[in-house]
Amino acid sequence: MTEKTHLEGLSLALDSGAIHQVRSLLNSLSASEIAQVLESSPPNERNVLWELLDSDLESDVLQRLSEDVRNYILNLMDSSEVAALTEIWDVDDIADILQQLPDRVTKEVLDLMTQQDRLRVESLLTYDEESAGGLMNTDTITVRADISIDVVLRYLRRHEKIPRMTDSLYVVNRDDLLIGELPIRHILTADPTQPVYKLMNADAEVIPADMSDTEVANLFERNDWISAPVVDEERHLLGRITIDDVVDVIRDDADHSLMGLAGLGEDDDTFLSLRKSTPRRMLWLGVNLLTALAASAVIGQFQATLDKVIALAVLMPIVASMGGVAGTQTLTVVIRGMALGHIRKNNMKWLLNRELILGAINGMFWAVAVGLIAGLWFQDLTLSAIIAAAMIINLIAAAAAGVLLPVILRKMNIDPALAGGVALTTITDVIGFLSFLGFATLAYA
């Protein structure tokens, strides 16, 4: 059975309320597939699915979840459960998660760890999470330069397993200063009697602990690295960064660029609750209102020579601009959700309803604000009511367009990311002008 068939069967079982079937199907999926299901589910369904998940899968699944969804799940758990789940995680992953939790919970989780693990995690928590020190893991294998390859091989065999993505061993002196790298491929093909110093790369590039994660990602991209050592100012080996952590940085930067265009956080959950979604959207709409008022104020400087019809022209850009920004926020979230595979037929209705409610909340809030401004500005209560009503209509229409446009464009084999913004602006402008001028025509006829 293909992954798509598995996911479709799970969706159907969940919709029908067949809990035993949902449990069976869910636990038959891989950890990455389960993470995809959780990220593609609204909060209520997500809670049910997590409860049905076998405990031995929870740790692997949590590591594959996006930050927002993972934090949502972790907040449902107590400290002992979090500590138990992190027992098999890499130290850098544990540190990343603890930085997102409240200080009280972080302390409790650290207290439940072994002393060795706690010290390793606490050493990482001292670094900025967006620096090389915050990205690195301390699971390095070090050797001395004067030993033979045969000794290195015997040393490796004493390990039950070596750290993931180990492509090189690090050569250090007695003071733990990094003096070179010994690639695994050299160990496998070299004469066992050869000393390490003859095979190591003494010119290997290192990463300072305070380097930004974006610079680290650029280095990995340019050099095609799988891993790289992290050192302090004196060149003491602190740990290493692996490509899986760099991929997360690249993805986060891409999300930041995309979501930032609409004033949203890069880790916004596609199915974020209304309580969290509303203030995030409302703030950017408030900023946009200020810029729209500034543009209208310039036109308003000529108000003394204009009649009431021109007063309408002064306020028109506000309605259109607010609708455009609200629609762009929705459009951006939906396009990102589609790109990540979160949005499917079974959750589209939930998403549309959430966006319509968001549009109505924001519409009413900013309708009151702009209505008061217009009333005080032009001393006309009728004009104030007209722009308030038009604002509510346009923000709700913008929310609907932001959800439905990407779906329609994709069915027409048109890239929503390229054409969505243009189409959305047209819709919000037309509806904004029609509602505003239509109400004005009825009021002043």
Asked if residue 300 and residue 156 are part of one domain, the reply reads: no
417: in domain: yes
The span from the CA of 299 to the CA of 313, in Å, is 9
- Our count of domains for the chain comes to 3
pLDDT score of 411: 86
pTM of the prediction? 0.59
Asked if residue 344 and residue 369 are part of one domain, the reply reads: yes
278-320: pLDDT as tens digits: 776 676 567 556 656 654 554 455 344 335 556 777 788 888 8
351: in domain: yes
255: in domain: no
pLDDT score of 238: 92
- Read off the CATH number of the domain in which 388 is found: 1.10.357.20
21: in domain: yes
Asked if residue 432 and residue 329 are part of one domain, the reply reads: yes
390: in domain: yes
Among the candidates 194, 211, 241, a domain finishes at: 241
Asked if residue 335 and residue 280 are part of one domain, the reply reads: yes
pLDDT score of 298: 47
354: in domain: yes
Asked if residue 149 and residue 87 are part of one domain, the reply reads: no
349-362: pLDDT as tens digits: 899 999 999 999 99
Crossing angle of helices 274-300 and 308-339, rounded to 10°: 150
Among the candidates 81, 116, 135, a domain finishes at: 135
pLDDT score of 297: 58
Asked if residue 203 and residue 70 are part of one domain, the reply reads: no
- Read off the CATH number of the domain in which 209 is found: 3.10.580.10
40: in domain: yes
Among the candidates 135, 163, 180, a domain finishes at: 135
Listed as ranges, residues in the chain with pLDDT below 70 are 1-9, 11, 15, 87, 253-277, 280-281, 283-285, 287-310, 339-341, 415, 417-419, 422, 445
Asked if residue 276 and residue 424 are part of one domain, the reply reads: yes
- Read off the CATH number of the domain in which 27 is found: 1.25.60.10
Asked if residue 88 and residue 11 are part of one domain, the reply reads: yes
Asked if residue 267 and residue 230 are part of one domain, the reply reads: no
pLDDT score of 392: 94
Asked if residue 171 and residue 122 are part of one domain, the reply reads: no
Asked if residue 300 and residue 348 are part of one domain, the reply reads: yes
Domain that holds residue 128: 3-135
121-138: pLDDT as tens digits: 887 888 888 899 988 988
418: in domain: yes
Give the contacts of 350 (CB within 8 A, at least 6 positions apart): 42, 271
Asked if residue 152 and residue 125 are part of one domain, the reply reads: no
